[in-house]
Chain A
Amino acid sequence: MTPITPVHYMVLSAALFIIGVIGVMTRRNIIVILMSIELMLNAVNINLVAFSNLWQNAAGQVFVIFVICVAAAEAAVGLGIILAFYRNKETVNIDEMTLMRW
């Protein structure tokens, strides 16, 4: 059995990141877009932890903790904003955001 090398982690992280980017570009539901963005941030986390292990250096893991905290804060604020939007508009589809030209 081949050992898991940093390259494996990087491929996983790159795949997750690309899935996230494609999700943001193609999905129309705001909640799904938010989930895709979270995928991108988690790809960053995998990268950072893998490099942290590779270099035997804790800075990457500290960075990850900050990224997780900020992602949580962003999700809280973002869902609040989406809720306010839903109350006025009764939809969470970005195609319905037609008040101003997108």
Chain B
Amino acid sequence: MPGGLSPSDFTALMPEFVLTGVALLVLLADAFLPRARHGAIAWFSLAGLVLTAAVLVPYAGEHATAARGMVAVDGFGAFFKFLFLLAAALTILMSPRYLQVEGVRPGTYYFLVLCATLGMMFMASGIDLVTIFIGLETMAISFYILVGFIKPNRRSNEAAVKYFLLGTFSLGLLLYGMSILYGLTATTNLRAIATILASGEHHPWLPLAVILLVAGVGFKIAAVPFHMWAPDVYEGAPTPITAFLSVGSKAASFAMLLRIFFEGLPSANGDWGLLFYALAVLTMTVGNIAALTQSNVKRMLAYSSIAHAGYLLIAIVAATRVPQTGVKAALIYLVVYAFMQFGAFGVITLLRRHDVIGEELKDMSGLFQRSPLVGTAMLLFMLSLGGIPPTAGFMGKLWLFSAAIDGGYYWLAVIGVLNSAVSLYYYLRVVVFMWFKGDPTGSELVMSPGMAILLAITIAGTIAIGVYPRPLFDLADISARTLGAGGITATLR
């Protein structure tokens, strides 16, 4: 066989190539454009993301592999790629004014955001351990730099060091698990691994590989007990990057989780299903209880994001018995979560002014009097995160819990519902501060065009999915079907 990529591979990887091209142009623009014109880079990056999404559209109905089986070109991957592009676009929309207030030059900021997105896209489409690993690292290394991007800020430095150390440590665990998997099967292709493991005898080393892989993935999705980096990193990172981390990185890690465990290790689902069950219960409970006592809103949202990873794990556990319903529920919830989480972080970014950090709960005081529109938007996002109808959060949770019930995991659904009830306390506490406390600063909020677009998109998404969820459900349904070589229903039996 001749080496290299064939012309059809180039066609199959076109969205990734387009995004790479845009990222390189952004890097060039940063070097050669006069300092005064740098504001255009953000808009150029946005245009690049929209272009990539447009190129991606025809791939949504595919179900094939490319580059010698290293990459899957399917609806499942396309669904996640659209989500990553949306997350990156929302991040870029809220960035220019934030960077200006923090007093840092954008420099390579937008390039790194695009690189992280590129890594996520390969995590979602990789069906080879090497592809997934490279995608993961492209994303992670970009994030290490982005988290510490505000160099004079000590909190940003500290967050970057913590994220870097725990990120590489988890990579070590993940890679060791992958090396054992390669040792057992003599291949790095996940679908080939699945075939060999299904036909072979019981491997005594397989549980060890599964444990290491679950631990490595657990760090990336910030599941308890692998969550200790998340609150510090989320608090210290620039707010737009916190939002991107909590949505983009989490969604990409869930895509990686689904690829590794459903494509590569379906025959061991008894082992990892049990582990994820325990992780789901722990993650929901610890995340919600820890969030109750936080006074910093970014930190509170970090714990809430940990709790949401726990809810998502319910869908993963349910998918071991009802694959189609479970995976579909996870896909729906990730989209819902993206809208409400970005909305909430958008409001926090809006509160950041030269003299006010705007992250503490008391900075929310009187928000409704200061700006009724922003106050109402924050109310909507908090209700959605808490899962109150008629918001998107309610629809997402409804699907998660009904998937758990379909799979026969009644206790998991009960624990999930109880946890949602607990979470209402800290979401509504924000609302109490906004509506019933006076405003100590009395200063006006400055709405930049990017922020206005961001809030419009997130509000529209949160309401639209809550009121008319049909299109998203149908899309998630079709996309979930294409996971695995023979489709999701053939993957787990």
B175 interface residue (CB < 8 Å to A): yes
Contact A63–B129 (Cβ < 8 Å): yes
Complex Cα spacing A63 to B186, Å: 12
Q: A24-B169, A100-B232 are in contact. Are A44 and B130 (CB under 8 A)?
A: no
- Give the A interface residue count (CB, 8 A): 45
**Which chain A residues numbered 51 to 69 have a C-beta less than 8 Å away from chain B?**
51, 54-55, 57, 59-60, 62-63, 66-67
Contact B182–A77 (Cβ < 8 Å): no
Interface string of A13-46 (1 = CB under 8 A from B): 1000100110010000010011001001101100
Chain B proximity of A62: nearest CB distance (Å): 7
B188 interface residue (CB < 8 Å to A): yes
Task: Note all chain A residues with C-beta closer than 8 A to B231.
Answer: 100-101
B433 interface residue (CB < 8 Å to A): no
Interface string of B170-189 (1 = CB under 8 A from A): 01110110111011001110
**Which chain B residues numbered 136 to 185 have a C-beta less than 8 Å away from chain A?**
137, 141, 144-145, 148, 151-152, 154-155, 157-162, 164-165, 168-169, 171-173, 175-176, 178-180, 182-183
Contact A97–B179 (Cβ < 8 Å): no
Contact B175–A85 (Cβ < 8 Å): no
Contact B133–A66 (Cβ < 8 Å): yes
CB nearest to A52 among chain B residues: B182
The SS class assigned to the A binding surface is: helix
Interface string of A68-102 (1 = CB under 8 A from B): 00100110011011101100110000100101111
CB nearest to B161 among chain A residues: A85
Complex Cα spacing A80 to B144, Å: 10
Complex Cα spacing A73 to B119, Å: 15
Contact of A41 among B130, B155, B172 (CB under 8 A): B172
Contact B151–A84 (Cβ < 8 Å): yes
Among B168, B169, B179, B232, chain A packs the most CB atoms within 10 A around the CB of B179
B235 interface residue (CB < 8 Å to A): yes
Chain B proximity of A8: nearest CB distance (Å): 14
B396 interface residue (CB < 8 Å to A): no
Contact B235–A100 (Cβ < 8 Å): yes
**Which chain B residues numbered 222 to 250 have a C-beta less than 8 Å away from chain A?**
228, 231-232, 235-236
Contact B187–A37 (Cβ < 8 Å): no
Task: Note all chain B residues with C-beta closer than 8 A to A66.
Answer: 130, 133-134
Complex Cα spacing A99 to B296, Å: 13
Classify chain B's interface size. 35 or more
Task: Note all chain B residues with C-beta closer than 8 A to A33.
Answer: 165
Complex Cα spacing A71 to B493, Å: 38
Q: A34-B165, A74-B137 are in contact. Are A20 and B172 (CB under 8 A)?
A: yes
Task: Note all chain A residues with C-beta closer than 8 A to B172.
Answer: 17, 20-21, 37, 40-41, 44
The SS class assigned to the B binding surface is: helix
Contact B159–A100 (Cβ < 8 Å): yes
Complex Cα spacing A40 to B176, Å: 8
Contact B182–A59 (Cβ < 8 Å): yes
Contact of A85 among B129, B141, B157, B179 (CB under 8 A): B157
Q: A63-B129, A63-B182, A88-B154 are in contact. Are A81 and B176 (CB under 8 A)?
A: no
Task: Note all chain B residues with C-beta closer than 8 A to A67.
Answer: 133, 175
Complex Cα spacing A8 to B339, Å: 52
Task: Note all chain A residues with C-beta closer than 8 A to B187.
Answer: 57, 59
Contact of A51 among B160, B162, B176, B186 (CB under 8 A): B186
Complex Cα spacing A59 to B179, Å: 11
Complex Cα spacing A67 to B175, Å: 9
Contact B186–A55 (Cβ < 8 Å): yes
Complex Cα spacing A101 to B145, Å: 21
CB nearest to B152 among chain A residues: A88
Q: A37-B168, A88-B157, A97-B158 are in contact. Are A73 and B179 (CB under 8 A)?
A: no
Chain A proximity of B406: nearest CB distance (Å): 38
Contact of A81 among B160, B182, B183, B232 (CB under 8 A): B160
Complex Cα spacing A82 to B164, Å: 9
Binding site for A on B (CB under 8 A): 129-130, 133-134, 137, 141, 144-145, 148, 151-152, 154-155, 157-162, 164-165, 168-169, 171-173, 175-176, 178-180, 182-183, 186-188, 228, 231-232, 235-236
Please give me the 7 A-B residue pairs with the lowest Cβ-Cβ distance, nearest first: A40-B172, A55-B186, A47-B179, A51-B183, A85-B157, A44-B175, A100-B232
Contacts A70-B137, A100-B236 aside, 12 further interface pairs with beta carbons under 8 A come to: A20-B172, A41-B175, A44-B172, A59-B187, A59-B188, A63-B178, A63-B188, A73-B141, A78-B165, A81-B164, A100-B155, A102-B228
Interface pairs (30), CB distance under 8 Å? A10-B183, A24-B169, A37-B168, A41-B172, A41-B175, A44-B175, A48-B182, A59-B182, A59-B186, A62-B130, A63-B130, A66-B133, A70-B133, A70-B137, A73-B141, A74-B164, A74-B168, A77-B144, A77-B145, A81-B144, A81-B161, A82-B161, A84-B151, A85-B158, A89-B154, A99-B158, A100-B232, A100-B236, A101-B232, A102-B162
